[in-house]
Amino acid sequence: MNILDLQTIKDHLDEVDVLNAVEKNFVEYSNGNANVPPVGHLVLPDGDCHIKYGHINGDPFFVIKVASGFHNNTQKGLNASTGLMLLCSAETGAPVALLQDEGHLTDIRTAVAGAVAGKYLAVADADSIGIVGAGVQAELQLRWASRVSACQRALVWNRTSARAHELREKFAATDIDVTVVQDIEELVARSRHIITTTPSTSPLIFSEWVQPGTHITAVGADCPGKQELDATLVQRADVLVVDSVSQCVGQGEVQSALAQGLIAETDLVELGHVIGGETGGRSNDKQISIADLTGVAVQDIAIARSVYDTWHTSNAGMS
């Protein structure tokens, strides 16, 4: 079995068209061409662990991913997230490669999914991208959103203002103009493209704050009990897109609105169908759209397979 450490993975990641690979696999998933069992979810005193695994029909490999999130790790000088991905032969079951990515590939593929959602759902003339949160995912979401959006201005809000300023400094040498705001309501009022990235278990954004034409990508609610958006805002949305209906109904941003009977499962549209054109997304610039992203194993397959193929090709050329 080949073992790829984090630096090796990073060395080859720049050579990979991750966005296209993730888009393609979302379409495969929504078209029923993927075998993705329910997520394994382990709740621990200070964090949680997700086990996601799956296979795209016809692919030579299947992928098993373990990803953990321990938000108190930052106080210990450690990354909040970690993990690994195991690439196995779909013919024999034998492990082919262990990608010791320490959670990096999960972070990247999550940000890429956010960029995909924004690409298909956000209005083209947004004045600023609002980022709720200031952790690793907030940074990556903004970096990837700026690749697919003409908007290069961002507003950032975080419960701890100092961390928001730290995030702003990370973009000081880039073309992205980042401003820290003290009031989340101000961020919402000034942004028509908003990305939420926190582990909140109670609403941070309320319906009455949101202007027509706003798109929100919510990535924080990835297990039961988490919630970043007011349920009445979810009900108000004209377009409700999810990465996976089966996952989101129990652990996504839409779970609260569904439990309260404010929306029905039939109101949800999968992102893969929007990408593939089977179902329309936004039809005008006055609609409110929400993308609820819980993370699907097909994203892990896309990024793990892409990195491995690039690494394998480069090593074959050296032999």
Structural domain boundaries of the chain? 2-105+298-318, 122-297
Residues with catalytic roles: 65
| Res. 303 pLDDT band, cuts 50 70 90 | very high
Q: In sequence order, which residues have a C-beta less than 8 Å from that of residue 78 and are 6 or more positions away? A: 70
Helices (H), the chain: 6-13, 18-30, 104-121, 136-148, 161-170, 184-190, 231-236, 245-251, 255-259, 271-276, 297-318
DSSP state, residue 39: P
| Res. 28 pLDDT band, cuts 50 70 90 | very high
Task: Give the whole-number percent of the chain exceeding pLDDT 70.
Answer: 99
Contact 257, 221 (CB under 8 A): no
Q: What is the CA radius of gyration of the chain?
A: 19
Helix (H, G, I), strand (E, B) or coil at 94: coil
Please state, as a whole number, how many other Cβ atoms lie within 10 Å of the Cβ of residue 133. Answer: 26
Mean pLDDT of all residues in the chain? Answer: 95
pLDDT of residue 290: 98
The domain defined by 122-297 carries CATH number 3.40.1160.10: no
Residue with tokens 């016809």: 58
Closest Cα to residue 99, out of 299, 302, 317, 307? 307
pLDDT of residue 222: 87
Handedness of CA 90, 92, 97, 103 (dihedral sign): positive
| Residue range 222-231, pLDDT digits in tens | 888 999 999 9
Amino acid present at 194: I
pLDDT of residue 317: 58
| Residue range 242-272, pLDDT digits in tens | 999 999 999 999 999 999 999 999 999 999 9
Tokens representing 230 are 């007011």
The domain defined by 2-105+298-318 carries CATH number 3.40.190.10: no
What is d(CA 201, CA 223) in angstroms, rounded to the nearest whole number? 10
